[in-house]
Chains A and B, each alone.
Chain A
Amino acid sequence: MCHLKNIFHYINIELKGGVFFVVVTKPSPLPLLSLPIFPLAVLDFEIDRKMLGVARRKLGFGLFSATRVLPAGSVLPRKYSTAAKEITVREALNSALDEEMSADPKVFLMGEEVGEYQGAYKISKGLLEKYGPDRVLDTPITEAGFTGIGVGAAYYGLRPVVEFMTFNFSMQAIDHIINSAAKSNYMSAGQISVPIVFRGPNGAAAGVGAQHSQCYAAWYAHVPGLKVLSPYSSEDARGLLKAAIRDPDPVVFLENELLYGESFPVSAEVLDSSFCLPIGKAKIEREGKHVTITAFSKMVGYALQAAEILSKEGIDAEVINLRSIRPLDRATINASVRKTNRLVTVEEGFPQHGVGAEICMSVMEESFEYLDAPVERIAGADVPMPYAANLERMAVPQVDDIVRATKRACYRSVPMAAAA
């Protein structure tokens, strides 16, 4: 019952302009986050005591403590829902595509094997049967050609979703993504907008070697005119993909193959067809007070695992799930660093000129005086991805790496007890 009181202390419902907003506040210097609830969505306020403190995820980093306060940044009222439904990221993406295609007849999907094969990773399963071959299009293996066709269709006013089997193949079409899509609205002074989504798995899979393992977050986030999103959980996948498809600008949507099969609990609100997450807003997955860890995509899971390990040693880490690489949520990151005074950035991609470099610079520019330690960064090794399992393990960040770097940022390389 005490949790109920806490909840009402945190949650306000505001009516602004005819739309209900759920506003989560906390008496601490954290940014206000609010989520618009469309009038048709139903908020389930019943508290199931079994649900409190249960946010067990199949990733296996253990139960959250039942008395832990759920992070204020997590506006999603997971604690409100009666039953904890779990869906995989794959199901989340599939349902998001399905709903957006159903809602807007201009949305169509094209890519290799998206139709009859049901999707190379089964993300588009069932869509061909439901929407027909005019809206779910199998393309030949010609990225430059079909990406250009997708962008041209977007010029005319359709809303294509172009799938790359992996983003490594997007390099064959990168001229269309950058020069034909990203820059058109600017060059035409607003005449030609490009409401297109480029999506597909990004980053390392398992054992697929150098040409199939690169992370393109830094490459695409470099370009003005693009928006770059990278989901972690099922809620992220659903909300961000829906936002991307509805967005009038070109969006690069970086998924992760190894996350497709992961299950995450989702609330009724997330499952509603009007659910949408804002672009450009990060999520604080885990509140903490000693150090901030930023991550996106698969690395969020690793960061959360690291945070669990660190909490046993007395280091309380705040984990930020970036969600949006461009625009980067500098406000959330800086507010967090101003609170914790220490920062570790985590990414899977190559380190030089990476996402972490930008985050570090942003924090230095805006919150220099608040830093008590140099910023640490964890990234993939600065080598093409090797195949041998032991080398591959060294080429991708592991939980241990994040733990070690965080301890360095906290000036601790041995457990607290020993330092006394």
Chain B
Amino acid sequence: MAAATAAAARRVSCSLLRRDHGHLLPLLRPFASSAGGQPQLTVETSVPFTGHKIDPPSRSVDTNPSELLSIFREMSLMRRMEIAADSLYKSKLIRGFCHLYDGQEAVAIGLEAAITKKDAIITAYRDHCIYLARGGSLVESFAELMGRRAGCSKGKGGSMHFYKKESGFFGGHGIVGAQVPLGCGLAFAQRYLKEGTVTFALYGDGAANQGQLFEALNISALWDLPVILVCENNHYGMGTAEWRAAKSPAYYKRGDYVPGLKVDGMDVLAVKQACKFAKEYALQNGPIILEMDTYRYHGHSMSDPGSTYRTRDEITGVRQERDPIERVRKLIVSYELATASELKDIEKEVRKEVDEAIAQAKESPMPDPSELFTNVYVKGFGVEAFGADRKEVKAVLP
């Protein structure tokens, strides 16, 4: 079996061994699995899934070369974006809160690979990469972080409030745990309108203890809402390790009567498999919980060095053993879908793309002062709104 797939891979790889990797570009169609006669690859996940009140899916995941290359590129892009955001924050171009996702890319990408833009995603404040995965652009992302007009929320939201409603991304929320009932509400609407789609509500191990989560889960289970609760367990709720916050850190079991699956969140194909499985389940049966065992390299936010509550050895250990991008790189190289240097070229290209996006975002001006008063309401009825000195600054809300 393995020999056959390896042979198939080598047949493909013959055409990929040329130096110029421009030919790789047509292969970088996002997530076209088994499209147009591409060879299927079957890859085993790093560890088997663990189920709670459910039979877990198989460890064997179907994929294909273009999907893997596309995944590699996307994850590199996300990694680069977050690292660039780190520098921008340190040079004070990004202000306030900035919660970085590097290390967790596999969850965003694997999820996206399993669903369509008609499915909905909602998450908390660590949202830059989910926004990108949902089709957001780098320029809009950086511009929003820097509070510029070209930002996805026109500079009025900031790091925690990215949205892309037309591709099913509902934010971007600052209140820990609030996004879970909201996600159940999205699923309610999907079922109400008979759309045949699902909602993935992402939350962290810190939010997993929130009461409203259990309230929403109860209602979702009662009403068979097509919602998948995804716990991105990076093992630290801000500075508090999971074993200090949760009596039971087996988050996939916390749904009690709701089944759950524990997934290696650093293995993008495992994430894809689990999300695909969960979507099919939720459409038939109602809510299910996925616990993604993942890790963040940065601290909780840019004001957290991330080392007062965990050791540097732990961080470097995870980076060496479990880094999601490295895993995909090894996979691609071992299947000879591209050489290591071709992948490095992709990374260089990604870096250039990110730098160009930052330059473009920097050129975008700050919002016009009149934007202070826009979007307070959809329909303002011509009512007056006031600035700090109401005799000086006021506006009519249209």
Contact = CB atoms under 8 A, between A and B. Distances in A.
Nearest to B169: A191
A262 interface: no
Nearest to B218: A140
Contacts of B193: 156-158
A192 B161 CA distance: 11
Interface stretch (B180-188, B229-237, B278-286, B310-318): B180-188
A224 B184 CA distance: 26
Given A145-B219, A176-B178, A279-B381, A157 B189 contact: yes
B170 A155 contact: yes
Contact of B157 (A137, A179, A188, A248): A188
A139 B219 contact: yes
A134 B164 CA distance: 28
Contacts of A330: 384
B212 A186 contact: no
Interface stretch (B243-251, B342-350, B372-380): B372-380
A189 B216 contact: no
A259 to B, nearest CB: 25
Given A186-B375, A187-B161, A192-B165, A148 B178 contact: yes
Contact of A227 (B175, B178, B190, B377): B377
Nearest to B161: A187
A144 B181 CA distance: 8
B120, B223, B378, B390 interface centre (most CB from chain A within 10 Å): B378
Interface residues of A, number: 48
Contacts, number: 159
Contacts of B172: 187-188
A240 interface: no
Contacts of A157: 189, 193
A2 to B, nearest CB: 37
A251 to B, nearest CB: 10
Contacts of A209: none
Contacts of A255: none
Contact of A280 (B155, B189, B381): B381
A327 B383 contact: yes
Nearest to A361: B390
Given A140-B219, A192-B170, A247 B379 contact: yes
B186 A152 contact: yes
B218 A152 contact: no
A258 B311 CA distance: 62
B211 interface: yes
Contacts of B187: 152
Interface string B138-169: 00000000000000011111000101110000
B375 A155 contact: no
A176 B211 CA distance: 14
Contact of B181 (A149, A190, A191, A248): A149
Given A148-B181, A180-B173, 13 more contacts: A148-B216, A149-B181, A156-B189, A158-B189, A176-B178, A180-B175, A185-B376, A186-B376, A187-B171, A190-B374, A192-B171, A195-B378, A249-B379
Q: What are the 4 closest A-B residue pairs judged by CB atoms, nearest first? A: A152-B185, A148-B181, A145-B215, A156-B189
5 contacts: A150-B185, A158-B189, A185-B375, A278-B381, A327-B381
